[in-house]
Structure 1
């Protein structure tokens, strides 16, 4: 006789028993179905067997004869009734809790057998009764259907936060972050919306890069770079390595 184990996945409870006789039966039913037409089953006049179609899937079942005996337990944990040992398996064969979840159990035998399944049928024959009528030995027959392994939970990809929108007052890359010293001034002509009076046009004229309008807005502490008024005087910073101020351009 060989000792085998059943692991109840919902509670991690392990049930130990003997496989007697030392054998088990494995049955497989292929996933096929009879080929049918609109009117019913297709006949095969010149064939001995009905035509079949592969439907996928199938059924694999294990039939086991198990032995539970209280005399094989060690004191002081010996059960007074062998049904205390087999009751967890009976519960798995009964209706489970609410919902469609199956009562999963895993059949374990050495390193060669590790089969997840559900109990389809169970029967029990009792022997060796105590004076109180409590049975001490049980011959239990079980039919176990194999089920797929539970899919491992997939790791949730790390949520990447989008980069914070860059403020229009941020300095362009490559600068030291310090406000540049004013080098020249310019007077706004118009309302700041015309081509000749917009900050991007002034930045292109002064530095050759319209993106430098942020520097002009930062130095002059402009809340809204589009709200400029005629006659407003703006300071133009001198940036070494970035460009040249209007005054330097005019001198050239």
Structure 2
């Protein structure tokens, strides 16, 4: 059976030292992903518009069971190695990156936005909690539970290549509806209410407060001057 491994790596993703091999596989893992939105108030509307600001790194939580009978490495040493994943490396002035791997199908398409199966992920360790639960008569720890909290790490170049962002590349036509405002139309067209001046300038609008229903407005590509 393939065992879970945690390997400290540098920014170049090359291994640093030996991997930490966990003797018992975790019984469960928790993945969490979030997104950050800003609220944009529009006069006359009951609810503010939500403007996407940025994504948030995915977090992973897992609990590892350590037992002296299942490994030639003492429980205290395994716990110490896991603890060091959250401590400063003198050469880098920060804790190391960690590559987590566990068989060819782990974690699958859980992390990232590519939808492709992965056989591991790179993260930083946010916290390490150690709890010793069994001791020998001389006080030597024989069992421990180590809880790890990790956060997904991707370099700037990796994120840009993975996003493959696209913008509208052609002019579209929008017919004004009752109660619509330029910020609302801009938000629907570009997901950014602050781009309404682009629509106003392109259509040479002079009356910005009262849009007549039925008016046809051209929505130009972003970045195109009128």
- What secondary structure sits across from 2:3 in the alignment? strand
**Judging changes above 3 Å, is the alpha-carbon distance between structure 1 residues 99 and 46 closer, same or farther for their aligned structure 2 residues?**
same
TM-score w.r.t. the length of structure 2 is: 0.53
Which residue of structure 1 lines up, in the alignment, with residue 18 of structure 2? 13
CA-to-aligned-CA distance 1:159-195 (integer Å, 9 cap, x gap) = xxxxxxxxxxxxxxxxxxxxxxxxxxxxxxxxxxxxx
1:107 aligns with 2:100: yes
Q: What pairs up with 1:1-252 in 2 under 5 angstroms?
A: 3-10=3-10, 11-17=16-22, 18-20=24-26, 22-30=27-35, 32-35=36-39, 45-47=45-47, 50-73=48-71, 78-79=72-73, 81-97=74-90, 99=92, 102-113=95-106, 114-148=120-154
Does the Cα contact within 8 Å between 1:125 and 1:140 map onto a contact in 2? yes
Give ranges in structure 2 of 5+ residues lacking alignment: 11-15, 107-119, 159-226
**Judging changes above 3 Å, is the alpha-carbon distance between structure 1 residues 90 and 46 closer, same or farther for their aligned structure 2 residues?**
same
Between the two structures, name the one with larger relative contact order (CA 8 Å, sep ≥ 6). 2
**Judging changes above 3 Å, is the alpha-carbon distance between structure 1 residues 101 and 141 closer, same or farther for their aligned structure 2 residues?**
closer
Figure out how many residues of one structure are paired with residues of the other and give that number: 139
Give ranges in structure 1 of 5+ residues lacking alignment: 153-252
Q: Which has the larger radius of gyration?
A: 1
